[in-house]
Structure 1
Amino acid sequence: MRDIEILRIATHLDGDDFNASARMAREAVLKWASSRKRAGGTFPEEAWDHTDFELLAGGRNSTAVRFLTDTADLWSLRAEVPDENVPGRVWTNEIVIGGEIGKRPHLSLRLIVSTTEPNLNIEHHVPGPVLQIATAPGLLRGGRTLAASPSTLRNENDAQDLCDHLEDPERRLSIIVVALPEGEVSAPLINDSEVARALTGLVRVVRVPAELTWVLTKRFGKLRSVFDGAVRVYLPGFSSSDDPYRHRLFLATWLQKDENAARCGLWLRRIVADLSISSTRLGKDVVEFSAVRTASRRLRKDSLAEQKAPDAELLSLAQELIDDLEKRVASKEKEIGDYVAEVGIAEDRATAAEQENRSLLFKIRQLQGALADGAEAPTTEPPLPQAWSEFSDWLDQTFPDRVVLTPTARRLVRNPEFEDVGTVARAISWLATDQHLRRLNGGGSTRDEVIEPGILNAYCGGDTYETVWQGRRYEVDQHVKNGGNSHDPKRCLRIYYFWEPDLQQTVIDHLPAHRRTSAT
């Protein structure tokens, strides 16, 4: 069983009466958590008094604590709910409401899933109470309202304000800008209402009418703007001189297909949820349930000591504190392990980027040398590799701008069992030439295309899976394969890849053998 954090929310509650706003938010959370399908029982009176309570009901466990002093008021609830459709998957919601007395209350939320699944496939969505709280009392971040639906620009002043907000160095949330297509009656090419609802509290979704997109283009230039029905997600830290490829753009020509529009919506939900975790810090931006519980128990212990309570009562509470601290230490050790794994992934990304840069520099210098000598640019490709030790260098020198290997794929070709490196090289040459030109020129599908006798390109079907490359999630949906049903790694050829539309590259994630899955 592993714990995976799905998203975090760190906002303020709207409303002029801070106590009323906090109370309204607590009521919304309790109403949601107390439904029988989640709680599995009836909440006690203490729950509705907004004090400490615990309800254990066959895995549907709910616990709340209140930390209340003369200067601070924090209420926190942790609710564990088994997934209705996937056995063994358990969702945990940690919600903290409150803060310093007399100041605008905070809302912190963590959504965590515990699962044994090797590949977690979910549609990211904030928990139900966030939608209710966004309606009343409302959510704020950076002094701006966070709504559960897209906002639409009305005039040039609105567009200029959006541009100012995009470049605000204090902005901490992403902004999804949806350019409406030309026409009297125009509708967004994606279901931006569904995206805004799923990411309430995490993002702002803004519709820009076609007649106002020029404001963004004039301010940022075409490379950093969005128009003609396209969709773009502007990450925090954006500026008019920023790398435009850091802020993902989905072109209208691609979004016009329903399946692509749906994939765009799911990708936006994933990237924003992932960013909510990487860009916030526990204990500072987001308050943990365990921290509130520990503080509450310490407060009770100090109070009992002042009242000269019996030693047995003090000992019992001290043991609770020790148990709680041990759990927090274990949790932090697990988090550190996860962070170490993330560092390894980041190092792989840096190594891959460095390798790609070296390959491109080699190609540029080769062209520059030919021009300096007055010769034509070299058109012949290096000979095909005869051994796996030659494969990576051959690929990097031959197709550095067309086909790249992920760090995983680069490790797999160091010494694989599949013996025919020439066949793999010829298949990749097809990916870099015929398939590449077909992609660029819109020449139709390559489904079941024969590359050479016995080798064809096909969609993965049930073997389709997700991967992360350069910090983004992609669906690996095609592979080159040979015939037969053998999974013998010496004879079975599989080259799993996806197309990166922004960089116009084929990215190979796994080769040269059949990928192992939970089914195989």
Structure 2
Amino acid sequence: MNTATLSEQLSEIRRTRYAQVPRVRQVMQMLLWSQQHSEKNRVDARTRILDWGSTKWPGLIQKKAWNGEPFEHMQPGLLLTATATNDGAIWAFRSEHLDGVHSRTWVTEALIADLGEQDAFGVRNSCSFTGRQRVPASSPRIVRDLVAHHHLLDARFPVSAIAHNVNSTSEFDAFAKLLFSPDRALPIVVLTHPSGSDAYLVNAGNLARNTQGLAHVFCLPRATTFDLTDLVGGKMLSVFDGAVRTYYPGFSVDADPYAHPVVMATRMAEWLDEEGNKGPETFSAFIAEQMHFFSVGSPDKLDRMPSFSAIKKQRLSEGQRTPADKDELLELQRQELEGEVTTWRELALDRDELAQKLQDEVNQLRAYSQVLSHNLEDLRKGQRETEIPIPADYESLEEWCNTYLSGRLILLSRAARAARKAMFEDVALVYRSMLLLAFEYRNLCIASTDDRQATKVSFDSKLQALHLEMRGAISKERVGEFESEYMVDYTIGQSPRQLLEWHLTKGNDKDERRCLRIYFFWDPEMCVVVVGHLPSHLRNRMS
């Protein structure tokens, strides 16, 4: 019986079976709409794409190509070709060339489409190679040319190669509108000023140039980060003090903070790559790489832009076809099927590698979190801090949890927002309940068999002293129509959606001023209590 894990089995397959099989890595894809819609806009774009190809391979692109006519040039190690649909609505260009230095084949496809009311422009870059070569995250120059000259838009916001400085109310409003837009397709990378400095740790201009067409880069001065914190409902989803955060499409105030990663200034200073380079600019290169990876990170994204072969196949499928056309159509269909199989295989292998790296990092962070938690407790004991302060308002709850309960309890953003609207009158009881979960309940969850009885007695005693009860909140079988209330986004553990299966309770009065409910679950992987809602009652079939 094979006892190796799936990750180990896939690693062995990569090392042996696929070692000499060419792999295809999708490097980047940009598909954006233009603010302009005209024949001249599309002809100018076609000219720029062909000029780019002509500069790289002088004299090899036939003159008729500049008139939009199909052409093909083939020689060992190089293919240049263009095609169009019969109605002229879509024009596409493709180049395949061998990189003689690293024995890699680069494929670049560009697309221009008349969508009736808008023009669309697309570029895709991929690379085939053997072995375990590192493929650089790079975009062809035509991306820069299209961004610079064709007024590309993402959710009606200009796509550019410059970083956007947010210094006025109107600029912040425009940033906020883009941040929450359901139509946004590109990530937003936000840079902030470190404490006591007016200089960003990352070179914003370089980052914007290296991610143009793939992301928006915004620079927020210190004062503006307070506005952002208010806008997103608290610090868990905000960014400040020199940190950098990436807000991916689909962001909302209910988003999982870990789905929109933030990197602190201290972490950036120590950021290390595989070549031994270190510091903020190394981190900047990592961000650029991530933006490239995100643009091609799933088959759904790749399907947004028709491939060159799909466009050529459509042209051959329409109208009169010669026997040669039929043979070419069959060959294109074969290539397309092979390409789909290769894409899925490569995505699976890439995701396996990424999952292994992330799991390693999670394990390191988990161990680091435990060390910090123990050190913090030792520090408090050394300072004889026998009592953690209890605030008198709900506004302080999120920061208080991060300060005193880090490594023991996580307060989700939706819980922090609910607390700020709370009507429950005994504020101190809410804080003491959080201490109960972070200490006595957590100790019970991590206790050994020998210690479990003692920790159970300690927990029950504290629960009784606070006049609280702990009950099951709802089962997965019964959650049904109330899924949006009892299921929370949580990507740290094994599943991105978790059930708030337990709650602390006090009182049965429907009056929110006197009725307390704190909904939570236990994460055995991170050994933390996760609080998803408080202090009011969530709806169920009985309420």
**Are the equivalent residues in 2 in contact too, given 1:66–1:74 (CA < 8 A)?**
yes
Aligned partner (choices 205, 213, 219) of residue 201 of structure 1: 213
Change (3 A) 1:76 1:242: same
CA distance in 2, matches of 1:164, 1:369: 54
Change (3 A) 1:346 1:93: closer
CA distance in 2, matches of 1:232, 1:348: 23
- Normalising by structure 1, we get a TM-score of 0.62
Aligned partner (choices 210, 214, 223) of residue 226 of structure 2: 214
Aligned partner (choices 81, 105, 110) of residue 97 of structure 2: 81
CA distance in 2, matches of 1:369, 1:271: 48
- Normalising by structure 2, we get a TM-score of 0.59
Over aligned residues, Cα RMSD in angstroms? 3.6
**Are the equivalent residues in 1 in contact too, given 2:94–2:308 (CA < 8 A)?**
yes
Task: Write out aligned runs for 1:6-45 (5 A).
Answer: 6-15=27-36, 17-35=37-55, 38-39=56-57, 41-45=59-63
Cα deviation, residue 282, structure 1:
6.2
**Are the equivalent residues in 1 in contact too, given 2:24–2:346 (CA < 8 A)?**
no
Cα deviation, residue 165, structure 1:
2.4
Change (3 A) 1:119 1:373: farther
CA distance in 2, matches of 1:5, 1:348: 20
Change (3 A) 1:211 1:363: same
CA distance in 1, matches of 2:243, 2:104: 36
**Are the equivalent residues in 1 in contact too, given 2:110–2:123 (CA < 8 A)?**
yes
Change (3 A) 1:192 1:117: farther
Cα deviation, residue 173, structure 1:
1.4
Cα deviation, residue 340, structure 1:
5.1
Cα deviation, residue 240, structure 1:
2.0
CA distance in 2, matches of 1:280, 1:332: 9
3-state SS in 2 of match to 1:227: coil
- Residue 223 (1) aligns with residue 217 (2): no
What whole-Å deviation, never above 9, does each CA across 1:290-320 have from its counterpart, x for those lacking one? 1111112223xx2x36xxxxxxxx2122222
Cα deviation, residue 364, structure 1:
5.3
CA distance in 1, matches of 2:246, 2:355: 25
Q: Which residue of 2 aligns with 1:134?
A: 147
**Are the equivalent residues in 2 in contact too, given 1:82–1:90 (CA < 8 A)?**
yes
Cα deviation, residue 341, structure 1:
4.5
3-state SS in 1 of match to 2:85: strand
**Are the equivalent residues in 2 in contact too, given 1:41–1:57 (CA < 8 A)?**
no
3-state SS in 1 of match to 2:236: helix
**Are the equivalent residues in 2 in contact too, given 1:181–1:209 (CA < 8 A)?**
no
**Are the equivalent residues in 2 in contact too, given 1:40–1:58 (CA < 8 A)?**
no
Change (3 A) 1:20 1:364: farther
Cα deviation, residue 219, structure 1:
1.9
Change (3 A) 1:315 1:151: same
Cα deviation, residue 198, structure 1:
1.7
Q: Which residue of 2 aligns with 1:476?
A: none
What whole-Å deviation, never above 9, does each CA across 1:217-259 have from its counterpart, x for those lacking one? 1222122211222211111222223222222212223435692
Q: Which residue of 2 aligns with 1:154?
A: 167
CA distance in 1, matches of 2:52, 2:325: 30
Return 5+ residue gaps in structure 2 as ranges: 1-21, 272-277, 371-407, 409-440, 460-492, 497-525, 527-543
3-state SS in 1 of match to 2:139: coil
CA distance in 1, matches of 2:335, 2:458: 71
Aligned letter for 1:11? Answer: L
Aligned letter for 1:298? Answer: S
**Are the equivalent residues in 2 in contact too, given 1:40–1:60 (CA < 8 A)?**
no
Aligned partner (choices 70, 79, 91) of residue 106 of structure 2: 91
What whole-Å deviation, never above 9, does each CA across 1:316-344 have from its counterpart, x for those lacking one? 22222122222222222323434555676
Q: Which residue of 1 aligns with 2:257?
A: 244
Cα deviation, residue 285, structure 1:
1.6
Q: Which residue of 1 aligns with 2:4?
A: none
Change (3 A) 1:21 1:325: same
Cα deviation, residue 145, structure 1:
0.9
Change (3 A) 1:159 1:282: closer
- Residue 291 (1) aligns with residue 310 (2): yes
CA distance in 2, matches of 1:160, 1:364: 47
Q: Which residue of 2 aligns with 1:321?
A: 329
CA distance in 2, matches of 1:289, 1:282: 16
Aligned partner (choices 101, 111, 122) of residue 108 of structure 1: 122
CA distance in 2, matches of 1:283, 1:257: 34
**Are the equivalent residues in 2 in contact too, given 1:180–1:229 (CA < 8 A)?**
yes
CA distance in 2, matches of 1:91, 1:163: 38
CA distance in 2, matches of 1:78, 1:95: 7
CA distance in 2, matches of 1:247, 1:282: 19
CA distance in 2, matches of 1:176, 1:251: 13
Q: Which residue of 2 aligns with 1:170?
A: 183
**Are the equivalent residues in 2 in contact too, given 1:34–1:43 (CA < 8 A)?**
yes
Change (3 A) 1:159 1:96: same
Q: Which residue of 2 aligns with 1:50?
A: 68
- Residue 371 (1) aligns with residue 455 (2): yes
3-state SS in 1 of match to 2:78: coil
CA distance in 2, matches of 1:322, 1:267: 41
Change (3 A) 1:369 1:219: farther
**Are the equivalent residues in 2 in contact too, given 1:82–1:88 (CA < 8 A)?**
yes
**Are the equivalent residues in 2 in contact too, given 1:179–1:209 (CA < 8 A)?**
yes
3-state SS in 1 of match to 2:251: coil
Cα deviation, residue 348, structure 1:
7.7
**Are the equivalent residues in 2 in contact too, given 1:156–1:215 (CA < 8 A)?**
no
Change (3 A) 1:279 1:320: closer
Task: Quote the sequence identity (%).
Answer: 23
Structure 1 stretch displaced more, 253-262 or 284-293? 253-262
Cα deviation, residue 52, structure 1:
0.6
CA distance in 1, matches of 2:339, 2:269: 45
CA distance in 1, matches of 2:70, 2:38: 21
Cα deviation, residue 18, structure 1:
2.1
**Are the equivalent residues in 2 in contact too, given 1:18–1:103 (CA < 8 A)?**
no
3-state SS in 2 of match to 1:11: strand
Q: Which residue of 2 aligns with 1:450?
A: none
What whole-Å deviation, never above 9, does each CA across 1:431-455 have from its counterpart, x for those lacking one? xxxxxxxxxxxxxxxxxxxxxxxxx
What whole-Å deviation, never above 9, does each CA across 1:48-91 have from its counterpart, x for those lacking one? 2121111224313211112131xx5111011123336x331121
